[in-house]
Homo-oligomer: A and B are copies of this chain.
Amino acid sequence: MKLTQLSTSQLAERERQLETQYQRHKAERLRLDLTRGKPSTEQVALSDAMETIIEGRWVLEDGTDVRNYGGLEGIPAARKLAAELLGARPDEVIVGGNGSLPLMYQYLLCACLHGVQGPETAWRTERGPIKFLCPVPGYDRHFTICEDLGVEMIPVPMTAEGPDMDRVETLVGHDPLIKGIWCVPKYSNPTGHVYADSVIERFARLAWIAGRNFRIMWDNAYAVHDLDDRPMPLTSILDLCRRLGTEDSVVTLGSTSKITRAGAGIGFMAMSAANLNAFRQRIAVYTIGPDKVSQLRHVLFLKNLNGVLAHMQKHAAILRPKFETVLRHLESGLAGSDMGRWTRPRGGYFISFDAQPGLAKEIVRLAGEAGVKLTPAGATFPYGRDPDDSNIRLAPTYPSVNELDQAMRVFVTCVQLAAVRQRLAKA
């Protein structure tokens, strides 16, 4: 049923019903949180065995004692594991830190100040402030890094196949100050879309238009985070690039934050030898090397890609009913209406919801007042500005199925109420 088909009095009647329902929700005094892409307690507990797995095996095959100083790129076995996850070669990998965000920041800071391949390539030496393309909706942490580094952001629309590549190529071709693009190629945050092979191929060729100092920040955060039991392979952009001689144009990233522990995982990145050599010199300035004990725990626990995939099936079993609960409420409350559209991801951590233009902030406000905290409207856009005020990111992973059930009842009521009121105001 579409609101446009209702008369003003029907709309008013519907508003009264929804208002009653909304007040009832409020009276329940819920305190639910759908804001963060955070694994649940059940999920992090899947890796508890990691804690006691070392059993005295402190010394690696190459003689390295993981309890002592040494090594900037991470232990060989962790580099090998990360390479499998990123579709890279072990010698292209740096494993460091407890997540990938610091690596992204450090890489872009390096690119701005010191250059991706030496001082003469530093973005700060460009003729003006440099710019980044940001597929939208996207990940707020990426945008924050750009804002922090004074990098101007230009939104480009996401499609179900990935970023709108016609637009990407046109923009890059016309403005030499565009020096990079953010990508979450698999189960993109927040849409859950997976980049099509044809899109990945166009990315691999992008350097031909964009020049040698352009960097694709390939944040493969959900590389193995499939919801069903048929893991979706993602074409290795590094392989593709290597074949075309464009391997310097891409920096791939990932972590085990949502595989083992959030905030106590391992972060990693893979890139061409020339990029890695330049970046290694930077790392040497500000770190005495990564936590090799954490890396060893991970390697002993996860073993290899197959080990990771088996482990991710346990995550999927926990997450499937949660995503299904959210989708069921959206279907039953909003399907066939003109009140919203949403994605049905096969993996990742989010569902992206698009309300009628002009209503996202209002829906988030209504839900908040009824005790359901949602990601602030606009957060999925650069500078927090969603031009349509339409996109809302739903994060179903942390709450229980029961909590999600309650939260989604409230959410659907808020969407309906906001939509009916908007329609009434226009009528």
A residues bordering B, Cβ < 8 Å? Answer: 36, 38-39, 41, 44-45, 47-48, 51-52, 54, 56, 58, 65-71, 97-99, 101-102, 105-106, 109, 141, 144-145, 148, 257, 261-264, 285-294
- Chain B residues near A287: list those with CB within 8 A: 99, 101-102
CA distance A117 to B71 in the complex (A): 35
Inter-chain contact A264/B291, CB cutoff 8 Å: yes
- Chain B residues near A145: list those with CB within 8 A: 285-286
CA distance A68 to B41 in the complex (A): 8
CA distance A144 to B281 in the complex (A): 11
Give the contacting residue for A263; candidates B109, B148, B292; CB below 8 A: B292
CB distance from A99 to the nearest CB of B (A): 5
Which secondary structure characterizes the binding site on chain A? loop
Give the contacting residue for A290; candidates B98, B257, B288; CB below 8 A: B98
Residue of chain B at shortest CB distance from A100: B288
A44-B65, A69-B263, A263-B290 given. 13 additional CB < 8 A pairs? Answer: A45-B67, A48-B56, A52-B52, A69-B257, A101-B286, A105-B285, A105-B286, A106-B286, A148-B286, A263-B288, A263-B292, A291-B291, A294-B294
User: Which of A47, A65, A67, A71 has most B Cβ within 10 Å?
Assistant: A67
Contact A263-B70, Cβ < 8 Å, known A99-B287, A145-B286, A148-B285: yes
CA distance A67 to B68 in the complex (A): 24
Give the contacting residue for A67; candidates B141, B264, B291; CB below 8 A: B264
Inter-chain contact A291/B41, CB cutoff 8 Å: no
- Chain B residues near A257: list those with CB within 8 A: 69, 288
The 10 closest A-B pairs by CB, nearest first: A105-B286, A44-B67, A264-B293, A98-B291, A69-B262, A67-B261, A264-B291, A148-B285, A68-B262, A52-B52
CA distance A290 to B294 in the complex (A): 13
22 contacts between A and B (CB under 8 A): A36-B69, A41-B65, A41-B67, A44-B58, A51-B51, A67-B262, A67-B264, A68-B262, A69-B257, A69-B262, A69-B263, A97-B97, A98-B290, A98-B291, A99-B288, A101-B288, A145-B286, A148-B285, A263-B289, A263-B292, A264-B293, A291-B294
- Chain B residues near A41: list those with CB within 8 A: 65, 67-68
Inter-chain contact A69/B285, CB cutoff 8 Å: no
CB distance from A28 to the nearest CB of B (A): 22
Inter-chain contact B261/A68, CB cutoff 8 Å: yes
- Chain B residues near A290: list those with CB within 8 A: 98, 263
CA distance A400 to B243 in the complex (A): 50
Residue of chain B at shortest CB distance from A46: B67
CA distance A99 to B262 in the complex (A): 20
CB distance from A69 to the nearest CB of B (A): 4
Inter-chain contact A144/B289, CB cutoff 8 Å: no
